[in-house]
Amino acid sequence: MLFDKFKKDQMSQVKNHGDPPPIDLELVGQELPWEWSMPKKSKSYIMALLLNFVSAFNATGNSAAKAGVTAEFGISGSVFLTSSFTYNAALGLGPLFLAPLSESYGRRPMIVGLLLLIVILFLPQALAPNIESLSITRLFQGLAASIEGPHVAGIITDLFHRDHGRGVAMATFTLIVFTANALGPLCCNWLAFKTDWPNIYWMQMAMNGAVFLLCMFLLDETRHDVILDKKVRNYNKTYGTDLKIKTDAAHSFKGAMSKSLARPIVYLLTEPIVMALALWVGFAWGMVFLFTGATPHVYEVNYGFNQGESGTVLICGFIGAFLAWLLNFGQNALYKRSKDPVTHIAPPEARLYQAALGAVLFGAFEFMFGWTARPWITPWVSMIAVIGVNFGIFPIYAGVYTYIGDAYEQYSSSAQAAQALLRNLLGATFPFFATAMFDNLSFPWASSTIGFIALALSSIPFTLLVFGGWLRARSRVCKQITREQEEDEFRREQAFEEPGEKRHA
């Protein structure tokens, strides 16, 4: 048995020094999620994508209930938006408490448990007697759903090595988000136009319930430390030993919560890279939600579209994201060309080439949308601009997630939670002034304002391409990760020289 040597070592240390100290162990071979068989890896990956789809669908589909809810409850459109604000704000705040817990307790138990809660919370939304009930219910649902984005990104980081498929896997994850952002308003607007608004929530209850059942049976645990910790616990239970290992897997709720609350805040306040990326992707993400509300309004006013038709325009967002996803294969080729000839590892900044291009196109197509969405110009021209805007935003979203996954590796869920805070808070806030901004500034100048800000923020990826390595070299967290990787490499070399000393589970 591979643990036998450590059992003897620890027994002798117990006699001499009392409690045995933690030992270094690592997963190897097929035990690593990176090395799982393709069917096993694909099963968990598909579950993660489905989870991501229903979460993004819920975030944007809620706006379709606006006409029915305001009419039934006798409230203004701004008051209705509190139901979207509470959900999206909770998406930003929730990961501070929940996402890093997956680094301690594992991803699967949190996903399955919270997804069940999400399903249940659709019931009081469909039966809500007033806007207060709807908004409060969506607040708690948003807290539960907040784990889905960071957890899915964490699962992808667990399943795919940075040099073997992570870029394509993360780009597909982003494509699913944009697909749901387009299909959510499209399906829900037509459903609300043809039937009653509660059906929006009944439909999503059925969708999330189906995903919950699939995750119950098909989603595997992917967090490396948690898998290793479980193997050691099973060994201790079977053989009556008391092996302890050095791992992030928590052995107490208090310790897990301490890490959960501290890490994301520390990363956001002390890591300039995380702060800059959070601001950049936050603005881009806010524009996705602003467009979800403003774009249908533009086409209703300028072209006389009904609710269903104006919601259908948002399918342009999916088209733009899909085209950008295809271009991502070129991004991956550039990433591979950036690998160091000695270490065969590319720097995280190599993930940002397409994002830098997208940042410029995002601003440029905003100008095009503003000045072509005019009654005397065919709507097809401005729809091309909507495609272009999403073509630009897609690589920003994908690049940030992949960059953080590469730069922060095993601590990526905490770093993702940090950027998700600003991203979702801005996504929750922007819809409040979307319609008023376009009406008061006029459609052309509202879009131009967004374009100017987008072009100003486009300096962030170019700055990271030039100075990213310098910033990471001075990052406390990145230096710690580099040190751990060097220590792991040293241990592997020692194990190769002395096979009997190799410590793996």
**pLDDT at residue 469 in the model:** 82
Sequence length of the chain is 505
**pLDDT at residue 28 in the model:** 55
| Alpha-carbon span 222 to 155, nearest angstrom | 6
**pLDDT at residue 306 in the model:** 83
**Per-residue pLDDT at 15 exceeds 60:** no
Quick: pLDDT tens for 164-208. Answer: 777 788 888 888 988 988 888 888 888 988 889 999 999 999 999
Asked if residues 108 and 220 have their Cβ atoms less than 8 Å apart, the reply is yes
Asked if residues 108 and 33 have their Cβ atoms less than 8 Å apart, the reply is no
**pTM of the shown model:** 0.76
User: Is 379 part of a structural domain of the chain?
Assistant: yes
- Segment 371-385 shows an average pLDDT of 91
DSSP state string for 338-379: TS-TTT----GGGGGHHHHHHHHHHHHHHHHHHHH--TTS-H
Structure tokens at 248: 């992030």
The total of structural domains in the chain comes to 1
| Alpha-carbon span 348 to 271, nearest angstrom | 15
Place of tokens 């509300």: 293
Q: Using CA of residue 41, residue 42, residue 48, residue 52, what is the dihedral sign?
A: positive
Most confident of 4-13, 129-138, 406-415: 129-138
Residue 27 binned pLDDT confidence (cut-offs 50, 70, 90): low
Query: Quick one: which of 33, 56, 177 has its CA closest to 108?
Result: 33
Q: Residue 216 maps to which CATH number? A: 1.20.1250.20
**pLDDT at residue 5 in the model:** 44
**Per-residue pLDDT at 10 exceeds 50:** no
User: Is 407 part of a structural domain of the chain?
Assistant: yes
| Alpha-carbon span 497 to 390, nearest angstrom | 52
Residue 140 binned pLDDT confidence (cut-offs 50, 70, 90): very high
**Per-residue pLDDT at 11 exceeds 90:** no
CA 499 to chain centre: 40
Amino acid residing at 290: L
Distances 185 to 59, 87, 290, 351, 440 between C-alpha atoms, Å = 9, 16, 13, 31, 24
Quick: pLDDT tens for 211-262. Answer: 999 999 998 888 777 777 777 777 677 776 766 665 555 455 556 566 666 7
Quick: pLDDT tens for 315-330. Answer: 888 899 999 999 888 8
**pLDDT at residue 111 in the model:** 87
**pLDDT at residue 491 in the model:** 63
Q: How many CB atoms are located within 10 Å of the residue 420 CB? A: 29
| Alpha-carbon span 361 to 458, nearest angstrom | 9
| Alpha-carbon span 21 to 13, nearest angstrom | 8
User: Is 254 part of a structural domain of the chain?
Assistant: no
Q: Which residue has the higher pLDDT, 92 or 102?
A: 92
- Domain boundaries, position 443: 37-244+260-474
**pLDDT at residue 403 in the model:** 86
User: Is 202 part of a structural domain of the chain?
Assistant: yes
**pLDDT at residue 484 in the model:** 65
**Per-residue pLDDT at 278 exceeds 80:** yes
Quote the mean pLDDT of the chain.
80
User: Is 357 part of a structural domain of the chain?
Assistant: yes
**Per-residue pLDDT at 412 exceeds 80:** no
**pLDDT at residue 314 in the model:** 83
**pLDDT at residue 426 in the model:** 82
Query: Quick one: which of 398, 411, 347 has its CA closest to 168?
Result: 398
- Segment 266-295 shows an average pLDDT of 82
